[in-house]
A and B are shown apart, each in its own frame.
Chain A
Amino acid sequence: MRSRGAAPRAALHVGAVRGGSSGGGAPRTAGGGVPRRRTAELGLLVWVALLALAGFAAVVGAETSAFGPAVIVVPAIYLGLVLALHVFLVLRRFRGDQLLFPLAAALTAIGLVLVQRLASDLLLQQLSWALIAGGAFVATILIPRDLTTLARFKWTWAFLGLVLLVAPLLPGIGREINGAKIWVKIGPGSIEPWEAVKLLLVIFFAGYLEEYREVLAQAPRRIGRFPVPPIPYLLPIIAMWGMAMVVMVFEKDLGATLLFFGIFLAMLYLATGEAFYTLIGLALLLGGGFVAYHAFPHVAARVDIWIRPFADELRFGAGYQLVQGLFALGNGGLIGAGLGNGLPERIPVVWSDFVFDAFAEETGFLGAAALLAVYLLFVYRGMLIALRAPTTFLQLLAAGLSFIVALQTLVIVGGNARLIPLTGITLPFVAYGGSSLVTNWMLVALLMRVSDASARIRGT
């Protein structure tokens, strides 16, 4: 990353962005008229194309899905989209990170291959979502013109987030699917508003904490070694978080609850550096989990399934999905059954809840570890952007956004591999689902814009 002797104020540290110094003839100042080449990104996109083509070829070759025009058209359209987005960035003379886009594109390509493999009738839908996600990416790159606007309107984002959170509970537009009331009906389809809420939450926290972090971190009073937080300044974020919790309890979505709590703790830690807050938060989480276990049957059921999925009364009932998922993992071995040669379709709703197990069955431990490595690389890249960001708001924003991807991946992979209770969180970019794909691509755009902003300020 950097040498030990580097200045602690990483935000202003001037260092070459890897790959950013390519493009020999590119102008050194912002706003120049010549397109700025993104060679590293383009080179990596070649690998993304190979990945997508090989994946589709393997799935079709294994005869697990019928050969049809979609098999050729879908990867072609998708690669066209990726290339178009790349050209768009080049024409915009965009200076942001060159790794994030290929990484996200690769994950989305894996997602399309797996949808073709596991639920080929959903392929065109997922492709449409990918196109919409591309549009959302472009929009987020263009609007707002200045990222700091986001911080200025933080209360607006908080309010919008709350509206979106409550929306699924409203009669008429709310829908309940698989026991969770987290959907909003729009036209023929339905979306999950909380996917957008997580972004709004991070933006709000980043804006708020930038303003008050010094007050929060320098607790005026201490009891022994423990800081007593200045309650009045904590109230807004606690209120925000609390409302998210209450709503989630009504909407019965454990995954979102866990994610919001995680974002809350992580942002608080990032801003204040108080590990004590985190510990209190984790204690609250465990306590809340204990209470929820006894108070809510749907929570108790999740925990039971986690503890003993193979029990006779669970393996054919509530635990069936997890047990089938573990069977799939067990069939993976080191190198996997080969794409199209496993039996992951026996897992109910595999395309949205258990894509990780499906991928691990067919590509083995090596494939699964490589997938995790891609996520870790994404998170690392995001955190690096955060380190180099010019303002505290942008630092908190980039770190918070990267944290979302990390936590979501860990929670769903952990649930799929029975390390923690299973929750209905999607594997970012890969799992079937439109709302998730669109917001994740907006997340990528935001991260790249933070990186772009630092590059412009540093003049690299």
Chain B
Amino acid sequence: MVRPVATNIRALTLALAVAFLVASVGVAYWTMFASESLAQDPFNPRLIAASRDRPRGQIVDRNNAVLADSVPTPDGFKRTYKDRTLAQVTGYASFQFGLSGVEAAYADSLIGQDAADPASAWRARYLRERVPPGAVVLGIDEKVQKAAADALGGRRGAIVALDPRTGVILASVSVPTYDANEIVDATKQQTAWDQVTKAQDKPLVNRATSGLYPPGSTFKVVTGAAALESGFDPNQKLRVDDPYQADKSWGTYFVRSASHAHGDFSMPDGFRLSENIYFAQVGLRIGAAKLADYAKRFGVGGAPACDLAAAKGQLASEGSIDRPTLLADTSYGQGELLVSPLQMALIYATIANGGVMPTPHYATSVRDNQGHVIREIAPGPIGQVIRPDTARALTAMLVGAVEGPGAFAFGAKIPNVHVAGKTGTAENVPGSAPHGWFIGFAPAEQPTVVVAVIVENTPEGGVTAAPLGAAVMRAALNK
């Protein structure tokens, strides 16, 4: 006897009812449980749409100078941006192209939904009311920012300055830049967007946080720190004869000295004269594991925990330093290393800060529309990376690298202030000029500012970058 059709109909109906239940659970997930994370997505047009019929909060610097504002127009509120040198930092809030920079990172606060204000968060969530937005305050210091922008001028590159004690970013310049006003302008937006997205030199990228470069000699502090903490004696002299290879197995591969040096070098000499062969030998002595360990402690190969998006660097393309020539090259900052200027600034901030790495951040507080601070942004330090005595020893050698006889980084000197710092001349694509680095901090005894400078493709390398660093530090120190 064949089963009656009615029985099959009942079974099918039951199966369909279960399927409808599953579908509604799925819908419940997206509408209620995933809604928080979806709402925060910088490409969710709802974040920006909220500011069309009501103003979006201001972005201001530490002196309350307005960097981004919403002005009423007949078609609703329009966003205006005041400082072109901060274009990649403040970002844009485009109805068409989404959010970037502070506009993205603090999108909730800028539409009056900061999580630190539970009442407004509750009202926004359940009553769909938004309080008038307040402001996001950045740690940017107008005069340091101007000094950095002037110092770099039209040269491609980046400068980032921060306070090593707190991680507050004081200045952040990335060249070339773009005009965010055009990105949010209804009539110009498409042309402007096509132009900036197709440009070879990528003006939308914040080179300070997301430009990745080989660090060159500025990386030698990492090798130095690893050696000092492994019990290596900095005063031990190592023989340098240009060109150098550890043994015949290197074949035609040599490490070259920038000054074609022949002589005996201690670690202070190595820093002062930026001797690649000295640091290559130090690296080979302490070994790949030790060097990689310290590089990782300093955050190399990771992305800095910054409030704005920051790029992830690279220690070695395969993830590990797997051969002696790569170890030698990595030890003086070439090899396959890639770092952002912010990452290097943090490494030097760690040395300036007694071995404790601060957490970098652009914003320092969020205010409500009455001007009351809703939330202080003061993330604690990332942690103790090296010992205080290691930091002191490195600082002394970095002062020598600026002020010592014949020092490469002499251009970073400031009258009456001791400056610690290091230049770098980073080889990149064969055939193009090297990138010039300077990273330093001052005053060496009680550092209050760290600056990282990179000038792309400059024949003079680090020599070009050092005076730019000095100009920024002088502005920060009022000297």
Contact = CB atoms under 8 A, between A and B. Distances in A.
Interface of A: 8-11, 213-214, 217-218, 266, 269-273, 310, 315-316, 323-324, 326-327, 329-334, 337-338, 341, 343, 346, 360, 364-365, 368-369, 372, 375-376, 379-380, 383, 386-387, 392, 395-396, 399, 403, 406, 409-410, 413-414, 417-419
Contacts of A419: 22-23, 26
Nearest to A395: B5
Given A214-B2, A217-B3, A368-B24, 13 more contacts: A8-B4, A8-B6, A218-B2, A270-B9, A273-B7, A316-B43, A329-B34, A330-B44, A333-B126, A369-B28, A372-B23, A383-B13, A413-B23
Nearest to B45: A346
B301 to A, nearest CB: 21
B27 A413 contact: yes
B373 interface: no
Interface in B100-144: 125-126, 128
B41 interface: yes
B46 A343 contact: yes
Interface string B32-75: 10110111010111100100000000000000000000000000
B45 A330 contact: no
A418 B26 CA distance: 8
B12 A383 contact: yes
Contact of B26 (A333, A379, A414): A414
B26 A417 contact: yes
Interface residues of B, number: 40
A217 B27 contact: no
Contact of B2 (A272, A315, A327, A379): A272
B46 A360 contact: no
B27 A417 contact: yes
Nearest to B48: A343
Nearest to A271: B5
A78 to B, nearest CB: 27
A343 B43 CA distance: 13
A307 to B, nearest CB: 15
Interface of B: 2-13, 16-17, 19-20, 22-24, 26-32, 34-35, 37-39, 41, 43-46, 49, 125-126, 128
Contacts of A376: 16-17, 20
A387 B10 contact: yes
- Among B13, B29, B128, the most chain A Cβ lie within 10 Å of the Cβ of B13
Contacts of B16: 376, 379, 403, 406, 410
Given A213-B2, A396-B5, A410 B27 contact: no
Contacts of B19: 406, 410
Contacts of B13: 379-380, 383
6 contacts: A11-B6, A271-B8, A330-B34, A330-B35, A380-B13, A418-B26
A414 B23 contact: yes
B9 A8 contact: no
A413 B46 CA distance: 22
A341 B46 CA distance: 11
Nearest to A327: B44
A270 B26 contact: no
B68 to A, nearest CB: 22
Contacts of B128: 337-338, 341
A342 to B, nearest CB: 8
Closest 8 CB pairs of A and B: A330-B38, A273-B3, A332-B31, A10-B6, A329-B30, A330-B35, A365-B31, A217-B2
Contact of A410 (B2, B20, B31): B20
A369 B9 contact: no
A338 to B, nearest CB: 7
A326 B30 contact: yes
Interface SS of chain B:
helix
A369 B46 contact: no
Interface SS of chain A:
helix
Given A334-B32, A419-B22, A399 B39 contact: no
Nearest to B43: A315
A326 B12 CA distance: 30
B7 A8 contact: yes
A340 to B, nearest CB: 13
A331 B6 contact: no
- Among B3, B5, B10, B41, the most chain A Cβ lie within 10 Å of the Cβ of B5
Contacts of B6: 8-11, 387, 395
A365 B5 CA distance: 36
Contacts of B28: 365, 369
Contacts of B39: 330-331
A208 B38 CA distance: 49
Nearest to B7: A273
A351 to B, nearest CB: 17
A329 B12 contact: no
B5 A327 contact: no
A315 B19 CA distance: 28
Contact of B31 (A270, A364, A372, A409): A364
Nearest to B97: A316
B12 to A, nearest CB: 6
Contacts of A338: 128
B24 A369 contact: yes
Contacts of A406: 16, 19-20
Contacts of B29: 417
A410 B13 CA distance: 13
Contact of A369 (B12, B27, B43, B49): B27
B20 A343 contact: no
A261 to B, nearest CB: 15
A8 B8 CA distance: 11
B319 to A, nearest CB: 22
Contacts of B44: 327, 330
B46 A327 contact: yes
Contacts of B38: 326-327, 329-331
B33 to A, nearest CB: 9
Contacts of A392: 5
Contacts of B4: 8-10
